[in-house]
């Protein structure tokens, strides 16, 4: 089954066409600056990428462009749109409604719209992507895969905030988490690499990219995660502050004369690595500056690693131990210096990084020392594959008899 995976942002639209049974990536690309005069479309697999400047006034035009590219031209991966069997949409916020991925119908669309209050830019963009696919692909089956659904298993003691209970009743103020599809993928892969059942292991999964989050996954069930009602909570990130003393918010607003929106921007866009270093939100620039002795860059590095270290300790306490810690995303996959700092000093907890393994290798790998009782893995995330797989399973379950597909797919 070929699944088109769509990840629509407010001014961008990423896509991949994946054959789920073979795990073959048939095409991928991104439309950027949608709605802008300078909009462009990048398409192609790594060595063969082309960039075309082309007007796209909205997501509808972007989808039309993507579909045209998939069937036309020399390298077109398919001859006809009928070779796309289903579409999987990444949705950031499913709120209380969705504890798993689901087939899209009018009711699902209405609920995604309702949940847009918690993630306005993202959910509205996803809805535009869904409507555009409906417009251009007719009644093709579509599945919504939510970043939040993996965390619907959190117990109330983890998802409630110690605020007046009425705020939860009135506005559903609670933790929802984010990056769930990534945490789910690396947890499943880690269990496979350990040759264990996910339901037999305790894992701490760390998604360390521009946005960062850590999760505690106890015997396959997410029991806590660092992002909160919004993705601002938890770890220090590229431009987001993560958890801070909440009284700072009103203090800064009063002293700097900031509106709620301005304060929100300060915490989301001007803080984190960027705010502390004053250089960049990109860890590579901060690493170079800190190596050259830039004090604030060194401080940013120290704070970032300390922030991850503290969550590892917390989640070991929450689960009563851990079998493996898994790292993913730009920083987790690539930055050996940050990994060394995160795990330094954790030997008394049975967590021992191998300097040698940490310094070498690419792709999925174990980097813990043989004498570490907790295993440490680096696993490149693959949210798109997870979306394609969920889409396959849901469409196959619902429409199985109409599809001439092989039931017998092993996932890992
Ligand atoms: P997102 O998808 O959340 O935008 P990514 O997962 O691409 O983010 O991660 C981006 C972060 O990863 C940036 O801070 C970048 O500096 C960092 N990063 C990427 N490659 C490296 C590398 N080789 N060494 C250190 N940091 C890296």
The mean predicted confidence, pLDDT, of the chain is 94
How far away, in angstroms, is 334 Cα from ligand 1 center?
7
Write down the pLDDT at residue 227: 96
Write down the pLDDT at residue 117: 84
Cα distance between residue 117 and residue 165, in whole Å: 20
What does the block give as tokens for 350? Answer: 């049975």
Write down the pLDDT at residue 409: 61
Residue 273 beta carbon below 6 angstroms from any ligand 1 atom:
no
Write down the pLDDT at residue 292: 94
- Most informative mutation of 92, 183, 236, 284 for ligand 1 (most atoms within 8 A of CB): 284
The edge-to-edge listing of strands for the beta sheet with 212-218 is: 221-225, 212-218, 202-208, 324-328, 375-378, 365-366
Distances in Å between the Cα of 263 and the Cα atoms of 161, 269, 404 are: 21, 10, 54
The edge-to-edge listing of strands for the beta sheet with 13-19 is: 50-53, 40-43, 24-32, 13-19, 2-8, 86-91, 142-146, 102-103
pLDDT digits (tens, 9 = 90+) for 125-160: 999 999 999 999 999 999 999 999 999 999 999 999
Query: By the 8 A CB rule, do 102 and 143 touch?
Result: yes
Find the catalytic residue in 60, 79, 80, 147: 147
Residue 286 beta carbon below 6 angstroms from any ligand 1 atom:
no
Query: By the 8 A CB rule, do 116 and 110 touch?
Result: no
What atom of ligand 1 comes closest to residue 273's alpha carbon? 14
Write down the pLDDT at residue 70: 94
Cα distance between residue 68 and residue 212, in whole Å: 35
- Most informative mutation of 92, 178, 183, 209 for ligand 1 (most atoms within 8 A of CB): 209
How far away, in angstroms, is 357 Cα from ligand 1 center?
20
How far away, in angstroms, is 373 Cα from ligand 1 center?
29
Write down the pLDDT at residue 183: 98
Write down the pLDDT at residue 410: 64
Neighbours of 314 (CB within 10 A): 15
- Most informative mutation of 210, 231, 240, 332 for ligand 1 (most atoms within 8 A of CB): 210
Residue 228 beta carbon below 6 angstroms from any ligand 1 atom:
no
DSSP 8-state symbol, 10 = S
Query: By the 8 A CB rule, do 186 and 193 touch?
Result: no
How far away, in angstroms, is 320 Cα from ligand 1 center?
31
What does the block give as tokens for 167? Answer: 């705020």
Query: By the 8 A CB rule, do 70 and 54 touch?
Result: no
Residue 272 beta carbon below 6 angstroms from any ligand 1 atom:
no
Q: Which residues of the chain have pLDDT under 70?
A: 400-412
Query: By the 8 A CB rule, do 120 and 106 touch?
Result: no
Cα distance between residue 67 and residue 122, in whole Å: 22
Residue 394 beta carbon below 6 angstroms from any ligand 1 atom:
no
Query: By the 8 A CB rule, do 97 and 111 touch?
Result: yes
pLDDT digits (tens, 9 = 90+) for 230-244: 999 999 999 999 999
Query: 221-225 and 212-218 as β-strands: parallel, antiparallel, unpaired?
Result: antiparallel
CA-only gyration radius of the chain, Å? 22
147 is known as an active-site residue: yes
Residue 21 beta carbon below 6 angstroms from any ligand 1 atom:
no
Write down the pLDDT at residue 399: 72
Query: By the 8 A CB rule, do 354 and 107 touch?
Result: no
CA nearest to 290, candidates 236, 333, 337, 328: 337
Query: By the 8 A CB rule, do 154 and 222 touch?
Result: yes
How far away, in angstroms, is 205 Cα from ligand 1 center?
17
Q: Any residues with CB less than 8 A from the CB of 18 and at least 6 apart, and which?
A: 2, 3, 5, 24, 25, 26, 384, 385, 388
What does the block give as tokens for 268? Answer: 């989301």
Distances in Å between the Cα of 260 and the Cα atoms of 50, 245, 264, 283, 328 are: 42, 17, 6, 28, 33
How far away, in angstroms, is 182 Cα from ligand 1 center?
15
């Amino acid at each position: 089954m070929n699944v088109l995976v769509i990840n629509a942002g407010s001014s961008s639209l990423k896509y991949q066409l994946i054959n789920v049974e073979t795990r073959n990536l048939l095409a991928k690309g991104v439309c950027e600056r949608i709605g802008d005069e300078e909009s462009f479309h990048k398409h192609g697999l790594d060595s063969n990428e082309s960039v075309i400047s082309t007007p796209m006034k909205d997501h509808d035009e972007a989808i039309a462009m993507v579909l045209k590219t998939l069937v036309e031209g020399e390298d077109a991966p398919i001859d006809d749109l009928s070779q796309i069997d289903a579409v999987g949409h990444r949705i950031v916020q499913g709120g209380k409604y969705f504890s798993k991925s689901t087939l899209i119908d009018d009711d699902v669309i209405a609920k995604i719209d309702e949940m847009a209050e918690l993630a306005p830019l993202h959910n509205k963009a996803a809805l535009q992507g869904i409507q555009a696919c409906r417009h251009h692909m007719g009644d093709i089956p579509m599945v919504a895969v939510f970043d939040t659904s993996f965390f619907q298993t959190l117990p109330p003691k983890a998802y409630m905030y110690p605020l007046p209970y009425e705020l939860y009743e009135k506005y559903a103020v609670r933790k929802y988490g984010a990056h769930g599809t990534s945490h789910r993928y690396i947890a499943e892969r880690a269990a496979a690499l350990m040759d264990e059942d996910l339901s037999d292991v305790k894992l701490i999964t760390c998604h360390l990219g521009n946005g960062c989050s850590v999760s505690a996954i106890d015997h396959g069930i997410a029991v806590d995660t660092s992002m909160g009602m919004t993705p601002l909570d938890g770890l220090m990130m590229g431009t987001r502050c993560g958890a801070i003393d909440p009284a700072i918010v009103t203090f800064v607003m009063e002293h700097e004369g900031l509106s709620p929106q301005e304060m929100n921007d300060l915490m989301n866009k001007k803080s984190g690595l960027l705010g502390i270093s004053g250089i960049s939100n990109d860890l590579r620039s901060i690493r170079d500056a800190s190596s050259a002795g830039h004090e604030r860059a060194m401080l940013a590095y120290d704070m970032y690693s300390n922030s991850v270290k503290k969550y590892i300790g917390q989640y070991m306490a929450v689960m009563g131990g851990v079998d493996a810690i898994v790292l993913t995303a730009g920083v987790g996959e690539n930055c050996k210096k940050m990994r060394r700092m995160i795990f330094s000093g954790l030997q008394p907890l049975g967590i021992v990084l191998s300097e040698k393994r940490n310094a070498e290798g690419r792709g999925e790998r174990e980097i813990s020392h043989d004498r570490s009782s907790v295993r440490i893995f680096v696993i490149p995330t693959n949210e798109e594959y997870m979306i394609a797989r969920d889409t396959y399973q849901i469409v196959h379950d619902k429409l199985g008899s109409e599809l001439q597909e092989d039931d017998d797919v092993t996932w890992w």
